[in-house]
Amino acid sequence: MIRHPDTVIKGGRLIDASGEQSGDILISDGHIVAVGQDLQGEILIDAGGCIVSPGLVDLHAHLRQPGKEETETIASGARAAVLGGYTAVLAMPNTTPTIDCAAVVREVLELGRASVCDVHTTGAITVGRAGEQLAPMAEMAALGVKVFTDDGTGVQDDRLMRRAMEYASGLGLTLAQHCEVNSLSEGTCMHEGEWSARLGLPGQPSESEELMVMRDIALARLTGAKIHFQHMSTAGSAALIAAAKAKGMAVTAEAAPHHFTLTDACCEHYDATFKVHPPLRSQSDLEAIKNALAAGSLDAIATDHAPHAAEDKELPFDQAPPGMLGLEYALALAFSELVDGGEMTEAEVLAAMSWRPAAIAGMDNHGQRLVVGVPANLCVIDPSQRWVIDATGGASLSRNVPYVGKEVRGKVRHTIVFGEVVVRDGEVQR
């Protein structure tokens, strides 16, 4: 194991699941070895005026490797992640080939180990994400995969989804669902509503998402399976999940930053940068997602980071692929929209971006309280720094950024992964 110099983070606001305090953190051999005042180390990180938090955890990132390395690689996605304060990301399986067997899992994990971030991977629920035959979840679980999803498509067959839940439940695994009923969404390219009518574009009704949320809540109740709902976008979905939680069901759910910052009105100029699935919804849906995050019925903020080549996003709106970048912008968007908007505190945002997603994904080395003995996976955030998002795409190989020109608050200054300072003063160190 490579030894990294003892590092002390001095004078920060320490925020974790237990609350907030002021002090220093000393890191040695990849772990926190002291928390207190006037600590000393070989490397000094000045956290004056900054928040020190457990590293962020992204439940939903498309790293595109294997198969689409021209748009993103695990290495480039990992660099984007740590610049955004993430110490761990969960890669989606819609790669080429699909992450649906042990061999591809091994490839992704090996590439992840060489990167600057702790890269975990999901496995597909069905072979090739075709929705016809269950993938060998047990063999992938034996390699450490804990979450399975056909993300990009929802499992359409009710009986197959029930079988998947029963199988996963027996193995202690979590199923994550992309909720979209194909018979209602096929051929659509944005939210069905006023703006789709104005633009003459085929719209996807909210019910496409909500019907699958309803079905999977029912199947989870039947099977006892752990189900996680991905990128919830409608008021109806948020209400269904809140009702399930009120009945004591152990369901979890996430929202993506674009669903609490952007609406379908952004599609006004047919710019495919704003095309995403599920689509940008109405203003009332956006407010409902904000409220659900504030109430905790939506547990986590996940980026749904989805890089695409420029030439693909330049296609006509109805032909362009859906997706947008998120890893480097999610925290600042959450601070700017949710904290400054009065819906959440900084600590509540960090809960939704660190320790709660870590618990959902079963990442025991992340999101831990800032106490002696835990792995040193941390980020240092300057909450007062204001900056304007530009079109560069940051560390990503792609440039499909929907927030260009937006002024935001909150900048990650340092990120530490297992004791290594991988981002220092906003720059990736390797």
User: Out of 304, 318, 382, 425, which one is annotated catalytic?
Assistant: 304
Residue 84 shares a structural domain with residue 33: no
Provide the number of structural domains found in the chain.
Answer: 2
Q: Enter the tokens of residue 344.
A: 């959440």
Residue 22 shares a structural domain with residue 82: no
Residue 299 is among the residues annotated as catalytic for this protein: no
Residue 109 shares a structural domain with residue 220: yes
Whole-prediction pTM: 0.97
User: Per the omega criterion (within 30 degrees of 0), is the bond before 402 cis?
Assistant: no
Q: At CB < 8 A and 24+ separation, what contacts does 342-349 make? A: 343/290, 343/291, 343/293, 343/294, 344/293, 344/294, 346/15, 346/51, 346/383, 347/15, 347/19, 347/20, 348/294, 349/301
Percentage of residues in the chain with pLDDT exceeding 90? 98
Q: Is residue 367 part of a domain?
A: no
Residue 413 shares a structural domain with residue 332: no
Q: Is residue 1 part of a domain?
A: no
The CATH number of residue 39's host domain is 2.30.40.10
Condensed to tens digits (0 to 9), the pLDDT of residues 307-358 reads 999 999 999 999 999 999 999 999 999 999 999 999 999 999 999 999 999 9
Residue 111 shares a structural domain with residue 249: yes
Residues whose CB is less than 8 angstroms from the CB of residue 237 and which lie 6 or more positions away in sequence, other chains included: 179, 206, 209, 210, 213, 229, 253
Residue 213 shares a structural domain with residue 284: yes
Q: Is residue 127 part of a domain?
A: yes
Residue 222 shares a structural domain with residue 186: yes
Indicate if the pLDDT at residue 1 is higher than 70. no
Residue 218 shares a structural domain with residue 135: yes
Cα–Cα distance measured from residue 383 to residue 332, given in angstroms and rounded to the nearest whole number: 9
Q: Is residue 410 part of a domain?
A: yes
Q: Is residue 2 part of a domain?
A: no
Q: Is residue 257 part of a domain?
A: yes
What is the 8-class DSSP label of residue 267?
G
Residue 211 shares a structural domain with residue 342: yes
Q: Enter the tokens of residue 75.
A: 């290495």
Q: Is residue 368 part of a domain?
A: no
275 lies in which domain range? 55-361
Q: What is the DSSP string of 230-266?
A: -S--SHHHHHHHHHHHHTT---EEEE-THHHH--GGG
Residue 246 shares a structural domain with residue 106: yes
Residue 279 shares a structural domain with residue 141: yes
Condensed to tens digits (0 to 9), the pLDDT of residues 135-178 reads 999 999 999 999 999 999 999 999 999 999 999 999 999 999 99
The angle formed by the CA atoms of residues 294, 297 and 298, to the nearest 5 degrees, is 80
Q: Is residue 366 part of a domain?
A: no
Residue 208 shares a structural domain with residue 264: yes
Cα–Cα distance measured from residue 79 to residue 430, given in angstroms and rounded to the nearest whole number: 9
Answer for the pair 80, 171: CB distance below 8 angstroms, yes or no: no
